[in-house]
């Protein structure tokens, strides 16, 4: 029987498996980032000295920078440690301005395809502010005030009820004072890969005729909180009749857990001033959280197979994935790791003690 509030309770052994994904291990996270970032073509015939790092390595280190709270000087040390190459911290700020966020979005969307390929999902849209490190002058009541400037991260997330995880569907960044409605219909929704027939939840900021119309054209049922006093004719009248208050209450807190994970592990402070650097940092922040979610997804999927009451749809999907295709574009195929994990866990699992050595998945890659 489905839980009334699915995020309130997990099955026995869930959290022990959840914590063994290695999401705070520097080397593990960097290897996962290296696996998912796509190949980037090198520019030929450009002036100046050739860069010390390949384009793909620059993107990997940029995402790694957003994955942990660190400075550019610390990133310089990690570049030497992880890649055995040198790039001064003063050059990192320059390279951040030259990278394209669409490359990072491709990696985010690929991980989302893997995690949402099977089973039902619920979509949630929301935004959160990122704190910058500089101020702007404002005149309020005849007095000069200094206000801390903010940057805003807009996301559409897919909730996986079976695993209790949130996958990033699409990302966009704006200045901190931007309204949530225009970025949703102009940027988030057009590039989002969503499954027709599902439902998306949002607060009253997304309640408008154009948002509802474009959401329905994509085959998604909008479940936005109605705004008091809003009169929009037949479109809003129909949306008001279809609004499900109980479903909204069930899923309204999901996105806050995703934002809380960013604030806890990476932090919500952006130290860049250039517009492109801030945009890239926001998209890299979302991909870093997506990589951590995918690491937990692999552990929990294997756990469901070898649990005392395995969930067959997820088991069949993992077996089919192992047998039919490579789901990793990097140098280390996921198929090999999944096969080894599958064989190791089948040996270590003991139905009498209900224990599974999930640590073997990390040490036998």
pLDDT in tens, 39-50: 887 776 666 677
Closest CA to 132 of 100, 175, 168: 175
Stronger pLDDT, 213 or 330, i.e. the higher one = 213
Which of the 8 DSSP states describes residue 278? H
Which is higher by pLDDT, 179 or 364?
Answer: 179
Q: DSSP of 304-333, one letter per residue?
A: HHHSSS--HHHHHHHHHHHHH-----SSS-
* Short-list 133, 62, 148, CA closest to 103: 62
Looking at the predicted structure, is the pLDDT value of residue 157 above 60? yes
If you average pLDDT over each of 15-19, 125-129, 346-350, which comes out highest? 125-129
Which stretch of 155-159, 222-226, 238-242, 360-364 has the lowest confidence by average pLDDT? 360-364
pLDDT at 182: 93
Which residue matches tokens 């957003």? Answer: 66
Structure tokens at 260: 């809380």
End-to-end CA distance of the chain: 36
**Beta partners for residue 223, in sequence order:** 201
pTM given for the model: 0.80
CATH of 117-272, one of 2.40.10, 3.40.50, 3.30.420, 3.30.70: 3.30.420
Spell out the alpha helix ranges (H) of the chain.
14-18, 26-36, 55-67, 72-83, 89-96, 101-115, 181-183, 189-191, 209-217, 233-242, 245-251, 254-265, 275-306, 312-324, 334-348, 360-363
**Structure-model confidence comparison of residues 29 and 267, the more confident one:** 29
In the three-class reduction of DSSP (H, G, I as helix; E, B as strand; rest coil), residue 151 is classed as strand
- The mean of the pLDDT values for the chain is 79
Q: Residue 252 carries which DSSP code?
A: T
Q: What is the mean pLDDT of residues 195-219?
A: 91
How many alpha carbons fall within 13 Å on the CB side of residue 45? 0
């Amino acid at each position: 029987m489905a839980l009334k509030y699915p995020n309130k309770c997990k099955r026995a052994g869930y959290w022990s498996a959840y914590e063994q994904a290695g999401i705070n291990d520097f080397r593990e996270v960097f290897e996962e980032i290296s696996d998912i970032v796509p190949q980037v073509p090198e520019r030929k015939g450009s002036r100046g000295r050739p860069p010390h790092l390949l384009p793909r390595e620059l993107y990997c280190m940029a995402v790694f920078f957003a994955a942990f709270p660190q400075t550019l000087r610390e990133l310089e040390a990690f570049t030497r440690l992880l890649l055995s190459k040198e790039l001064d911290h003063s050059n990192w700020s320059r390279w951040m301005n030259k990278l394209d966020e669409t490359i990072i979005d491709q990696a985010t969307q690929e991980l989302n395809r893997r995690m949402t390929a099977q089973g039902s999902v619920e979509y949630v849209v929301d935004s959160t502010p990122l704190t910058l490190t500089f101020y702007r002058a404002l005149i309020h009541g005849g007095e000069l005030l200094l206000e801390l400037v903010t940057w805003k991260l807009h996301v559409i997330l897919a909730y996986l009820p079976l695993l209790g995880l949130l996958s990033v569907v699409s990302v966009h960044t704006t200045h901190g004072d931007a309204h949530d409605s225009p970025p949703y219909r102009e940027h988030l929704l057009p590039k989002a890969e969503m499954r027709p027939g599902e439902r998306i939840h949002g607060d009253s900021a997304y309640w408008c005729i154009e948002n509802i119309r474009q959401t329905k054209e994509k085959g998604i049922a909008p479940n936005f909180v109605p705004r008091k006093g809003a009169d929009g004719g037949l479109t809003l009248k129909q949306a008001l009749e279809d609004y499900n208050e109980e479903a909204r209450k069930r899923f309204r807190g999901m996105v806050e857990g995703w934002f809380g994970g960013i604030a806890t592990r990476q932090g919500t402070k952006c130290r860049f001033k250039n517009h492109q650097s801030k945009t890239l940092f926001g998209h890299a922040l979302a991909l870093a959280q997506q990589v951590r979610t995918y690491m937990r997804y692999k552990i929990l999927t294997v756990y469901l197979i070898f649990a005392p009451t395995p969930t067959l749809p997820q088991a069949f999907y993992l077996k089919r994935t192992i047998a039919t295709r490579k789901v990793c574009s990097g140098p280390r195929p996921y198929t090999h790791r999944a096969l080894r994990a599958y064989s190791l866990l089948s040996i270590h699992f003991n139905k009498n003690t209900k224990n599974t050595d999930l640590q073997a998945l990390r040490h036998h890659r």
